[in-house]
Structure 1
Amino acid sequence: MGRKLKKISVCLCSLLMACSMVACSGSNNSSSDGKTVTLAKELDIISMDSSYATDGSSIEAIQATVDGLMTLDAKGNIIPALAKEKATVSKDGLKYTYELKDAKWDNGTPVTAKDFVYAWQRTVSNPDAEYNYLYGEGGACVANADDIVAGKKKASDLGVKAVNDTTLEITLSKPCAYFESLMSFPVFYPINQEFAEEKGDQFALTPENMLACGAFKMTSWETGSKYVLEKNQSYYDADAVKVDKLVFNVVKDLSSSALAFESGDVQFTKLNKDLVDKYKDSDEYTEVLEGYLWYFQYNFSNEYLANKNIRKAISLAIDKDDLVNNVLKDGSIAAKGFVPTALATGPDGKDYRDTAKSYMDTNIDEAKKCWEAGLKELGVDSIKLSMLFDNADPAKSSAEYLQSHLQSTLKGLTIEMVAQEKNNRIEMQKSRDFDISLTRWGPDYADPTTYLNLLLTGNSYNYGDYTNKNYDSKMEEAANTTDDKTRWELLKEAEGICMDDYAVTPIFQVGGASLISKKVKGIETHAVGVPYIYKNVEVVE
């Protein structure tokens, strides 16, 4: 993770001076010309390098400036982006061939199949790359990817080849039902090799060290304060881009951005629980169900949390409906399992969650019985645990509620609160410096495995080091079957194993309450992959 931190630290000194109040943005962010849209965002970009970007703001900004093979339309359907059309797939499902459109980087260089080969080899062979595992059988199943990640093969052995400048051929180790969904995710986007190598360790750190082949290009990035995307005149589909500029103000105080919205200085802002009641009757208020799932991750090296009854007691004691309805109040819903609602549709045409079981429903009486049983098994009458969480909503308000609720329900439980900025929280999880972490995951692709893979033994995001041979075996069985219906049922069985084991405790699925100006159309929200897509934004009168 050191490489990533190095990238984040650039311009760190500007954080001390950056103003996070939207009111400080001044007239430079005016949308009076009708072609600038200003949006308030709670979180800054972490990295514009697709090898390191894991947060929503970074993923959105990369998607706005670089096209992949595929993208999503407003309804979430997978459609071609740089690819002329969907892939030609071999009969055995192991070879995907894409023909590329005539597209250019904003320095005039053509986008070629070699740009994809370079980007993929660069990421999969980089041990610091956050998403290198997505190339292997935990994701796209590209041939030899897992061995390259493990250092057993060279990057050049990856199953991707530029047949010529406009033809990209990808070989898989086994069929992957959701492969084209992954092709819309930024870690699979192209990178111009000559430019990246010329910039070296400065690549993607500042606007002048980036190349764009998407709808916009970054022209300004003031860390902790603001970043600006302007229309990319070199974009192959530039005629479809209806705004000249997108200005993103980084604001942690949403009450300030709401006031800026009222004054017309901002055309989009999220709302927190304290603002929902004030604006919910406005015709500019909207709610969407996002794909992010918040859950408790347990550190299994903790002697108390290694006890199943303790984990079960905590899981059953949480009143998730009370949390989402009376604390969050933003359209979030209580989690019914480790696979969120509206993530993936099965072979039967139904949402996975509609046909799978519901887990960890609130049961206070049972929670207390399990708690007493766990204390007895451990030979103690009280337990102290730390809770790691982000020092921002919805994590902050949720953590405060959970601490109070659990301590009052489970006699003898003390929860020490450990509030951290997101990056620090992630680093502490990686170093196993936590007891319980209130954490989240956003789906990278539209399949239950984007969540279920997280609990496999040895998965790089399995920070609690949960392990269950039966779970691993069931997931492997699902990965190796070629029958879609059988695979779907095996995934449900696997979820049942980890949920019955209380490996993690799913708590809530995020709702996005926001204000969007009536003059702005085309801000697309997606529960899977890239949270917001801005290509089709326009200003209307």
Structure 2
Amino acid sequence: MKTKRMLSLLLASTMMLTVSAGLAGCKKKTATVPSIAETKKSSTEAKKDDDQHIKLIFLEPETLDPNQAQDTYSNTALNAVQEGLARLKTVDGKDKIEPAGAKSWETSKDGLTWTFHLRDYKWSDGVPVTAQQYVDSFQRLLKKDNAFPYAYYAYEIKGAEAYNLGTGKVEDIGVVAKDDKTLVITLVRPTPYFDKKLTFKAFLPIRLDVIKKGGENWKTDITKQVYCGPYIIKEWVRNNSITFEKNPTYWDAANVYLKTVEMNDIKEFSTQAQLFETAQLDVTGSTQQYIKKWQEEAKAGKFQYAEGDVPTTWALGFNNEGGPSGLMKNKKIRMAMALSFDREDYINTLVNRFTPAYGWVPKPVQSGKEVYRDVSKEPLKELAAEYANKPEKLKALFKEGLKELGNTTTDLSKIKIKYITYAAGSDEKQKSEWWQQQFKKNLGIDLNVEVLGNLTLYSQAKKDMKYDAVMTGWGADFDDPIGFLDMFSTKGVNNMVRYANPEYSKISKELATEIDPAKRLKQYQKLEEMLIKDDIALAPIYYQDTRRFLQNYLKDFMYPTYGADYEWRWAYTSGRK
């Protein structure tokens, strides 16, 4: 989201804008997008301020349980407070895998056996981190009864899939503690992208004793947590703020500079902008009315600024099980809705940024050595052009779908489609009204918008499938199209629209044993075609970008392309007035 990181990126689009579009600038084969560090060079040799602190926009985690986390906000928090085998560091605008909890590792010649050598580091209560705690994490992640959303991410490991499906034994999982500081992971097949998963939050070590003692509220109660990362959570006021404090017991505490990182909820972007312009907020994204102004000010040296594509796609998700209306299980109805809104108008009217999307895999993601989007046509593009500005043709398609469902309604104004959201700010209200206008204009149907009280209620409503349509998105957890496609092969939690197609699942399973890059690419393309064009499980809206503004005094603050939204483990301030 990415998790991803999952962006869960199953969050409202307004929230993404308020956190500098959520994710980091990315690389493409033909060009490298500059990181903030490149745009405004910084150095750990610079004189650091005595008072090391920063203020950011509130990113509230849904959970602090690493095995359960599936949204980028949770991953961002976990990235700050826990230390897994490896950590992503932005170097020269690119993600680099840095040894973290593991000081080194080696791989066997056949690519199947990975041996990790853990460094001597501890939890915040003084207990050493051991290889067995990693074993416990994998076993807990894969336990069928736990139904953790990212269990399938470990299926490359020997015995993992069988145990997760209830047909294998826990002792057959290929994750073994050779001794306290040696972890051995055995794969069932060579996996070209397995090293990219080493930073994945679901693979963090856990403390079973702490989880048991913490009870039902352990995953959201900071008084019941222990930490092995560079920070601890000092305070968390739900729906309002969260404060991170430097962890004095961290193995590399001498090279962690920020003493506190404070996040506060600021609902209106105009307020965020005012705080940023007066240096009371250190990092921000930008909405349309500020982008040009701030770009000019950045050129004049007032702020740091960088932009680029990120591996995230936003879409209108359809409840493939039918939804409250019962209509969304029909392909023609989904198709009519997918083709009846103007993506360019959405971008120009509401955000003045991003790229219209007619596919699901976003622009920066690579398939082998190729940038996937450069060599793969967008499945919905031709169909969208065929139906563009043709409301009567769209209405006819919608009515065909109604007829197939046995619905004799000919007056489309009687059709009610339920759309849910949770952000009540003016930006989100404008977006909801835009959707209503698009569907009324091109289909003649009514979109009933239900605004839920908070993120928790919204997330639960989505899990319970209490909607016909919803804004949804996905951010890459690692650099390969499989992260965007295999989630729809089963009815797992990450299959947010409950898409089901046996042929799709069959092809996805075949990918598990296919290592030829050219063949994998063709299978990826077929899966995307089925998902977006043949079955219209969801309707892509836009590929996300990032427009990042930071105060000049903030150095080495990073936006990893994959994983957490922010990485401040190496950040510091220098020259704050």
C-alpha distance in 2, partners of 1:294/1:95? 37
Structure 2 residue 374 is matched with structure 1 residue 354: yes
Q: Secondary structure at the match of 2:380?
A: coil
Structure 2 residue 345 is matched with structure 1 residue 312: no
Partner residue of 2:95 out of 46, 57, 76: 76
> Letter of the aligned partner of 1:106 in structure 2?
S
C-alpha distance in 2, partners of 1:256/1:275? 12
Gaps of 5+ in 1: 1-30
Deviation at residue 255 of structure 1 after TM alignment:
2.3
Partner residue of 2:239 out of 203, 219, 224: 224
Q: Which structure has more RCO (C-alpha within 8 Å, separation ≥ 6)?
A: 2
Cα offsets for 1:175-194 (capped at 9, x unmatched): 33222212201111112344
Q: Judging changes above 3 Å, is the alpha-carbon distance between structure 1 residues 513 and 535 closer, same or farther for their aligned structure 2 residues?
A: same
Partner residue of 1:511 out of 545, 551, 559: 545
Mean alpha-carbon deviation: is it higher for 416-425 or for 280-289? 280-289
Q: Judging changes above 3 Å, is the alpha-carbon distance between structure 1 residues 242 and 32 closer, same or farther for their aligned structure 2 residues?
A: closer
C-alpha distance in 2, partners of 1:396/1:539? 37
Q: Which residue of 1 aligns with 2:440?
A: 407
Mean alpha-carbon deviation: is it higher for 357-366 or for 399-408? 357-366
Q: Would the aligned equivalents of 1:294 and 1:438 in 2 still touch at CA under 8 Å?
A: yes
Q: Would the aligned equivalents of 1:88 and 1:97 in 2 still touch at CA under 8 Å?
A: yes
Structure 2 residue 80 is matched with structure 1 residue 56: no
Structure 2 residue 126 is matched with structure 1 residue 105: no
Cα offsets for 1:124-156 (capped at 9, x unmatched): 22644543423443xxx2233333333444544
> Letter of the aligned partner of 1:385 in structure 2?
I
Q: Would the aligned equivalents of 2:228 and 2:250 in 1 still touch at CA under 8 Å?
A: yes
**Map 1:334-353 → 2, pairs under 5 A:** 334-343=356-365, 345-347=366-368, 349-353=369-373
Mean alpha-carbon deviation: is it higher for 417-426 or for 444-453? 417-426
Q: Which residue of 2 aligns with 1:528?
A: 562
C-alpha distance in 1, partners of 2:286/2:263? 16
Q: Would the aligned equivalents of 1:337 and 1:359 in 2 still touch at CA under 8 Å?
A: yes
Normalised to the residue count of structure 1, the TM-score between the two structures is 0.85
Q: Would the aligned equivalents of 2:419 and 2:450 in 1 still touch at CA under 8 Å?
A: yes
Q: Which residue of 1 aligns with 2:55?
A: 38
Q: Which residue of 2 aligns with 1:24?
A: none
Q: Secondary structure at the match of 1:73?
A: strand
C-alpha distance in 2, partners of 1:370/1:174? 47
Deviation at residue 299 of structure 1 after TM alignment:
1.9
C-alpha distance in 2, partners of 1:227/1:109? 25
Partner residue of 1:326 out of 349, 367, 374: 349
Structure 2 residue 284 is matched with structure 1 residue 290: no
C-alpha distance in 2, partners of 1:193/1:332? 43
**Map 1:24-423 → 2, pairs under 5 A:** 33-41=50-58, 43-74=59-90, 75-85=94-104, 87-125=105-143, 127-128=145-146, 130-137=148-155, 141-273=156-288, 275-276=290-291, 279-283=294-298, 284=303, 285-302=305-322, 304-329=327-352, 331-343=353-365, 345-347=366-368, 349-361=369-381, 362-363=384-385, 364-365=388-389, 368-376=392-400, 378=403, 379-381=408-410, 382=412, 383-391=415-423, 397-410=430-443, 412-420=444-452, 421-423=454-456
> Letter of the aligned partner of 2:507 in structure 1?
K
Structure 2 residue 487 is matched with structure 1 residue 451: no
C-alpha distance in 2, partners of 1:399/1:175? 46
Q: Judging changes above 3 Å, is the alpha-carbon distance between structure 1 residues 33 and 288 closer, same or farther for their aligned structure 2 residues?
A: farther
> Letter of the aligned partner of 2:130 in structure 1?
T
Identity of aligned residues (%): 26
Cα offsets for 1:378-433 (capped at 9, x unmatched): 243213322223426776543432221232122x3221112233332332232222
Q: Would the aligned equivalents of 1:131 and 1:187 in 2 still touch at CA under 8 Å?
A: no
Q: Would the aligned equivalents of 2:49 and 2:573 in 1 still touch at CA under 8 Å?
A: no
Q: Would the aligned equivalents of 1:124 and 1:135 in 2 still touch at CA under 8 Å?
A: no
Deviation at residue 342 of structure 1 after TM alignment:
0.9
Q: Judging changes above 3 Å, is the alpha-carbon distance between structure 1 residues 146 and 485 closer, same or farther for their aligned structure 2 residues?
A: same
Q: Judging changes above 3 Å, is the alpha-carbon distance between structure 1 residues 299 and 200 closer, same or farther for their aligned structure 2 residues?
A: closer
Gaps of 5+ in 2: 1-47
> Letter of the aligned partner of 1:332 in structure 2?
F
Q: Which residue of 2 aligns with 1:428?
A: 461
Q: Would the aligned equivalents of 1:104 and 1:235 in 2 still touch at CA under 8 Å?
A: yes
C-alpha distance in 1, partners of 2:258/2:360? 39
Q: Would the aligned equivalents of 1:225 and 1:250 in 2 still touch at CA under 8 Å?
A: yes
Q: Judging changes above 3 Å, is the alpha-carbon distance between structure 1 residues 366 and 529 closer, same or farther for their aligned structure 2 residues?
A: farther
Deviation at residue 56 of structure 1 after TM alignment:
2.0
Deviation at residue 286 of structure 1 after TM alignment:
4.5
C-alpha distance in 2, partners of 1:390/1:368? 33
C-alpha distance in 2, partners of 1:209/1:510? 36
Over the aligned positions, Cα root-mean-square deviation in angstroms equals: 2.6
C-alpha distance in 2, partners of 1:255/1:485? 48
Cα offsets for 1:430-485 (capped at 9, x unmatched): 22221112212222222212111232242333343322233222222222213222
Cα offsets for 1:46-75 (capped at 9, x unmatched): 222213322222211111111111221202
Deviation at residue 523 of structure 1 after TM alignment:
1.9
Q: Judging changes above 3 Å, is the alpha-carbon distance between structure 1 residues 131 and 351 closer, same or farther for their aligned structure 2 residues?
A: same
Q: Which residue of 2 aligns with 1:16?
A: none
Q: Would the aligned equivalents of 1:314 and 1:367 in 2 still touch at CA under 8 Å?
A: no
> Letter of the aligned partner of 2:423 in structure 1?
N
Q: Judging changes above 3 Å, is the alpha-carbon distance between structure 1 residues 169 and 466 closer, same or farther for their aligned structure 2 residues?
A: same
C-alpha distance in 1, partners of 2:258/2:495? 41
Deviation at residue 162 of structure 1 after TM alignment:
0.3
Q: Would the aligned equivalents of 2:63 and 2:69 in 1 still touch at CA under 8 Å?
A: yes
Q: Judging changes above 3 Å, is the alpha-carbon distance between structure 1 residues 247 and 449 closer, same or farther for their aligned structure 2 residues?
A: same
Cα offsets for 1:310-355 (capped at 9, x unmatched): 32222222221221233112x4222231111112x223x2211111
C-alpha distance in 2, partners of 1:433/1:186? 29
Q: Judging changes above 3 Å, is the alpha-carbon distance between structure 1 residues 333 and 422 closer, same or farther for their aligned structure 2 residues?
A: farther
